[in-house]
Amino acid sequence: MSRLAQVWRTSTVRLTATFIAIFVVFAILLMAFIGWQSSVQIQRQQTDDIDREIRLFQRIEANQGIRSLAFAVNRFSSQPGPGIYFLGDAAGQYLLGNVPDMPAEVLIAPGVYSFDYDRTDLSEEIGALLDPGAPRRSGVALVRSVELGNGMRLVVGRDVVERRGYSAIILQSFLVGVVGIILFSVIAGGITARRVLRRIDTIRDTSTKIMSGNLSERVPLTRRNDEFDGLATNLNAMLDRIEQLLQGLKEVTDNVAHDLKTPLTRLRNQAEAALRDNASEETRQQALETVIAESDRLIRTFNALLMIARAEAGAPSGTLSAVDVGAIVSDVVELYGPVAEDAGIEVVSDIEENILLKANRELIGQAMVNLLENAVKYARPEDGSPGRIAIGLHRHGGMARIEVADNGPGIPQADRNRVLERFVRLEKSRSEPGSGLGLALVNAVARLHDGSFRIEDAAPGVRAVLELPAG
């Protein structure tokens, strides 16, 4: 009983039951209308037949006389069927027909009447004469009585018992049909509800396994390509994304712990060295400077993480505005040109003007700063030749393409996507300053502006390509 109650509480079963109820009601109304119309049509047909035969008898009486009328009435009344015929004189006395007894009101006032009667055809009349106690066949008559031109009374009608029997057959068929419709609807609804609940149970079981900690579980798909498969596809895509985010969070947590442990340890060691009793003033001064430098590095790391989170969270309303990306690139190149020259690196630029973007100026500027910092850091060819950085900005279709290329050692093909993740540094010794967040921020800025960011081979060196939708 609890299982049935649980099933009944589901929306699928309730919707199915509602559909069945609506279907059954409309089916019952439709079948009742068909039955009623059939009965009305039969009654109308009988009335039309009565009126047609009366007109026929009236024409015979007017054109051929009373003898032909009597012959016609006698011939019609001797035929088997539901027809009722009575021909009487002006006083209403029975002359011919298969119903010898007529109610007085039928013979007195012409019109349409319905009454119970005892029908007797010719064979039954002979049998009644031979055996007066033999029962007569009874029925219900629908008749029309008329007065002929010579004063005689003519009554023509039909036995409606047959019609009522047909109506009873219609009603019986109607009841059987209703029961069949209800049974069929219940069976079909049960099968439908079971299939729907089975698919829903599959999704629920999968979600239960995922909540228990198995993030690799996915909702199974069928070959039907129905709405449940569409829902399962979207859920699986969402689960893939969640698994990637959780995996990324785990990696970020590990990298943060790894990258912050060393500077924090140095901070502690420097502070401990400065607090020693035999420490000189110069040692203490140097320790404080180291503490400040390490603190600045930690602050830059956290600022980069906050900026990446801000970019990945999406731009708040009103923070995107029309900016001249050429002016931003030119300002950053002008800022880092002297830095590159001091490092013996040649900087060349080819910047197209009047390219407007709907963007966040601060984030675009920070992305350019990160790209140039990386280029200055790694534009050192292995053969000892001078370093070179090429910066380009051009309109390519509907996109603004920013390129920063260097002639350094480059990035292996297998690592070009990996360097876009947080805290990924290909330098194993990590002797170079940095936190491994620069390219991750550029990638987040590209996604925020519905653009793309990729690393290409510059042969030699690498080419960082940032593409953003141009206005």
Structural domains for the chain:
1-215 (3.30.450.20), 218-313 (1.10.287), 321-469 (3.30.565.10)
- What residues contact 351, with CB distance under 8 A and at least 6 apart? 326, 329, 330, 333, 391, 392, 393
Complete DSSP assignment for 105-154 = HHHHS-EEEEEEEEE--HHHHHHHHH-TTSPPEEEEEEEEEEE-TTS-EE
Give the sheet arrangement for strand 111-119, strand by strand: 94-97, 83-88, 153-159, 137-147, 111-119
Tens of each residue's pLDDT in the chain, 471 residues: 455 665 566 666 677 778 778 877 887 788 778 778 877 887 788 888 888 988 888 888 888 888 888 898 888 888 887 788 888 888 888 888 888 888 888 888 888 888 887 655 544 444 444 444 444 556 788 888 998 887 888 999 888 776 666 667 777 777 787 788 778 777 877 777 777 778 778 888 888 888 887 878 888 888 878 777 888 888 888 888 888 777 767 766 666 666 667 677 877 887 787 777 676 777 778 878 878 877 877 777 777 667 666 666 665 545 678 888 889 889 888 888 888 888 888 888 888 888 888 888 888 888 888 888 888 888 877 677 788 889 999 988 888 999 999 888 888 877 777 777 766 666 544 445 556 677 888 888 888 888 888 888 887 888 899 998 886
CA distances from 255 to 190, 264, 339, 424 (A): 55, 14, 29, 8
For residue 414, the Cα-to-chain-centroid distance in whole angstroms is 40
Helices (H), 212-280: 227-274
**Token pair recorded at residue 261:** 């442990």
pLDDT at 117: 76
User: What letter would DSSP give residue 9?
Assistant: T
Residue type at position 162: E
pLDDT at 4: 60
pLDDT at 122: 46
CA-based nearest residue to 439, from 454, 450, 428, 451: 454
d(CA 17, CA 11): 10
